[in-house]
Chains A and B, each alone.
Chain A
Amino acid sequence: MSAPPSAAIGVLALQGDTAEHLRVLRGIGATAVPVTRPGELDQVQGLVLPGGESTAMAKLAERYELLEPLRKRVRAGMPAYGTCAGMILLADRIVDGARDQRTVGGIDMTVRRNAFGRQSESFETGVEIEGLEGGPVDAVFIRAPWVESTGPGVQVLGQTAEGGAAGRIVAVRQGSLLATSFHPELTGDARIHRLFVDIVKGTA
């Protein structure tokens, strides 16, 4: 098998909406490949951790010996972007996880799982993202987590503006790690994916 071009971005493909992330990344001209095994992880320059069930993903990552390699790569500076369940996986600490739920970690934050409630409370709204031009992003929250607290190195990029859960942190960045509670892969608004591609290229 030939190695993918050097700028390849992986999308973790253990479970969840991997296909939607691949579609958005390819739509903005990035080379994007699914990652299920450690060998595939070695080939990519950056990684998207998609939405899905964080418990199922963590279990499968452990089973297929991806959890430790993921931790190593993230610690060594590989850019990563997590949406929803992916945000949970990138959190150093979680609240309301399943029994013994493990994460990859990397972002110095505490994330509350299913914080916005069950599916009937899932919602759409606009969220202003710092540094992103063109107005608020169209944000789809699905049984979404929020960021309860952040360490000193974490930049808060966006908070919910309205409703019962106003002012919750829903987008963060720490160095080359990016995480959102919501799912830009479901809306056709590719600005956050563009930001991530720029982080991988080293231009953002």
Chain B
Amino acid sequence: MANTAENDKTVGTTRVKRGMAEQLKNGVIMDVVTPEQARIAEDAGAVAVMALERVPADIRKHGGVARMSDPDMIDGIVETVSIPVMAKARIGHFVEAQVLQALGVDFIDESEVLTPADEAHHIDKWAFTVPFVCGATGIGEALRRIAEGAAMIRSKGEAGTGNVVEATRHMRSIRGEIKRLGTLDEAELFGAAKEMRAPYDVVKEVAELGRLPVPLFSAGGVATPADAALMRQLGAESVFVGSGIFTSGDPAKRADAIVQATLHYDDPSVVAKVSRGLGEAMVGINLDDLEDSQRYAGRGW
């Protein structure tokens, strides 16, 4: 399926997949559940939308098994907007991923927000022409996902809580570990690879580059323009916003404000200006109030 050449034209290569991820940098990817929301996101300057049946805050509320979205629902959004459309598959559920690829989505999120389908394995992402994004709480997880073929890594903050504390922890951890890798000698890199349970080649590549070989985005708990700017200042190249926009008082205005704060993340006067008059933010959840079974970051291996 991947790397099929047709008259010297090759689809699904690493460059084509990672290149797609590069195009989304410096932007905001918004969760949407209807074509109308997708249009609001596109009008606000989103670089892509994530087509979902329920935003994570509602997945938490309703409980039960969370799965891939209905193909009709995804089609409706694909037809409505001209920007890229992403969709989520359960961890390890490669058939959901096959379906999403057949539907023509532009990026698949192998996501802990949905109920995992495999307790030991993630999807073999090299087997697909469509690129994948995967979550990571730290460097080892990030590098294992890259070794499996992920074209983008995002933090794994607690989606649907409106609380960025976990995303902050993941961003600091991943960035800190990248810096540490740069200080290790050859022998120590072998040790680090073992410790991180990640292939040596990928570990060495990160140590040499001083960054991941794929874009690093942030996701989970972003609810305000200042949250988005915080993630950018912590090293995220783009920001996923889930429940934060469409569970708030004025989604169009908040979407626009988060796009601007993501661009001018290092200019507090812009962040201040766009933070005014946004109406009510989502209420949010303190993570101490979450039961362990409701914590998503621990899903994935």
Task: Give the CA-CA distance A114 to B23 in the complex, in Å.
Answer: 13
Task: Give the CA-CA distance A122 to B43 in the complex, in Å.
Answer: 25
B20:A15 contact, CB within 8 angstroms: no
A183:B26 contact, CB within 8 angstroms: no
Selected from B16, B47, B106, the residue in CB contact (under 8 A) with A15 is: B47
B10:A17 contact, CB within 8 angstroms: no
Task: Give the CA-CA distance A140 to B18 in the complex, in Å.
Answer: 11
B10:A60 contact, CB within 8 angstroms: no
Selected from A18, A52, A60, A120, the residue in CB contact (under 8 A) with B12 is: A120
Residues 135-172 of chain A, each 1 if its beta carbon lies under 8 Å from chain B, else 0 = 00000111100000000000000000111100000000
Task: Give the CA-CA distance A126 to B25 in the complex, in Å.
Answer: 26
Residues on the A chain within 8 Å of B7, using CB: 162-163
Residue B9 interfacial (CB < 8 Å): yes
- Given A63-B260, A142-B19, A183-B19, the answer on whether A124 and B26 have CB atoms closer than 8 Å is no
Residue A105 interfacial (CB < 8 Å): no
Residues 78-92 of chain B, each 1 if its beta carbon lies under 8 Å from chain A, else 0 = 000111100000000
Residues on the B chain within 8 Å of A20, using CB: 22
Contact count band on B: 35 or more
- Label chain A's interface by main secondary structure: loop
Nearest-neighbour CB distance to chain B for A194, whole angstroms, equals 20
Nearest-neighbour CB distance to chain B for A25, whole angstroms, equals 16
Task: Give the CA-CA distance A162 to B48 in the complex, in Å.
Answer: 30
Residue B129 interfacial (CB < 8 Å): yes
Residues on the B chain within 8 Å of A15, using CB: 25-27, 45, 47, 263
Nearest-neighbour CB distance to chain B for A61, whole angstroms, equals 10
- Given A13-B26, A16-B25, A162-B8, the answer on whether A96 and B263 have CB atoms closer than 8 Å is no
Residue A175 interfacial (CB < 8 Å): no
Contact count band on A: 35 or more
Residue A28 interfacial (CB < 8 Å): no
The number of inter-chain residue pairs (CB within 8 angstroms) is 134
Residues on the B chain within 8 Å of A183, using CB: 19
Residue B259 interfacial (CB < 8 Å): yes
B8:A16 contact, CB within 8 angstroms: no
Residue B107 interfacial (CB < 8 Å): yes
Selected from B10, B23, B104, B264, the residue in CB contact (under 8 A) with A123 is: B10
Of the listed residues A56, A59, A118, A119, the one surrounded by the most CB atoms of chain B closer than 10 A to its CB is: A119
Task: Give the CA-CA distance A52 to B259 in the complex, in Å.
Answer: 14
Residues on the A chain within 8 Å of B16, using CB: 122-124, 140-142
Selected from A16, A51, A53, A120, the residue in CB contact (under 8 A) with B104 is: A120
Residue B195 interfacial (CB < 8 Å): no
Name the interface residues of B2-19: CB closer than 8 Å to any CB of A: 6-13, 15-16, 18-19
- Given A121-B11, A122-B11, A126-B8, the answer on whether A186 and B22 have CB atoms closer than 8 Å is yes
B19:A120 contact, CB within 8 angstroms: no
Nearest-neighbour CB distance to chain A for B26, whole angstroms, equals 5
With A52-B23, A183-B19 known, 4 other A-B pairs at CB within 8 A are: A52-B25, A118-B105, A120-B129, A142-B19
- 11 A/B residue pairs, CB under 8 Å, sorted by A: A15-B27, A18-B26, A52-B24, A56-B83, A60-B263, A98-B42, A98-B83, A120-B11, A126-B8, A186-B15, A187-B15
